């Protein structure tokens, strides 16, 4: 390969690698801007909803398995973040769910908070090790 050919290959490799990296730099800029300049934006209070639902029983001693069962039954999308004996939390950017089981375990109180676009951008910016599937990894 001639010297001009090597130069063109290196130049094109540099160009395409930079274009790929530019996508990530722009993503971090857009999602980080509300963090840096939060005083410029009108902070919206989250919209909070609460409901009580019946929970079918499941035979398991594994708290993570039970948390997954709750998430599936309640149709909650997102990452399981906290799982304690009677309290479970699920998060995705813009939405936060808290599930508290009633003492006998046959029903649960579900509190859902929906945040404005600023807090959603912050959630995207701080999201790491998500494990929520391909679309979340993207």
- The 10s digit of each residue's pLDDT in 6-17 is 889 999 999 999
What does the pLDDT look like over 65-119, one tens digit per residue? 888 888 888 888 888 887 777 899 888 888 888 999 887 778 889 999 988 777 7
Phi, psi of 122 (to 5 degrees): -65, -40
Question: Percentage of residues in the chain with pLDDT exceeding 70?
Answer: 85
C-alpha–C-alpha distance, residues 79 and 124, integer Å: 13
CATH of the domain at 129: 3.30.310
Same domain, 76 and 131: yes
Question: Percentage of residues in the chain with pLDDT exceeding 90?
Answer: 17
How many other CB atoms sit within 10 Å of the CB of residue 115?
A: 19
How many domains does the chain divide into?
2
Cβ atoms of 49 and 95 closer than 8 Å: no
Same domain, 81 and 128: yes
Lowest-pLDDT range, 25-29, 95-99, 124-128, 132-136? Answer: 132-136
Same domain, 101 and 131: yes
C-alpha–C-alpha distance, residues 70 and 135, integer Å: 22
């Amino acid at each position: 390969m001639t010297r001009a050919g090597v130069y063109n290959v290196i130049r094109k490799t540099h160009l395409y690698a930079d274009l790929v990296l530019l996508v990530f730099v722009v993503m971090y800029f857009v999602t980080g801007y509300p963090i840096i300049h939060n005083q410029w934006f009108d902070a919206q209070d989250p919209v909070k909803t609460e409901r009580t639902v019946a929970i079918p029983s499941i035979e398991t001693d594994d708290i993570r398995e039970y948390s997954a069962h709750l998430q599936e039954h309640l149709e909650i999308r997102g990452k399981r973040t906290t799982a304690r004996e009677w309290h479970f939390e699920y998060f995705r950017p813009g939405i936060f769910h808290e599930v508290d089981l009633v003492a006998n375990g046959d029903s649960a109180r579900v509190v859902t908070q929906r945040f404005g676009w600023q807090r959603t951008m912050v959630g995207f910016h701080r999201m790491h090790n998500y494990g929520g599937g391909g679309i979340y990894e993207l």
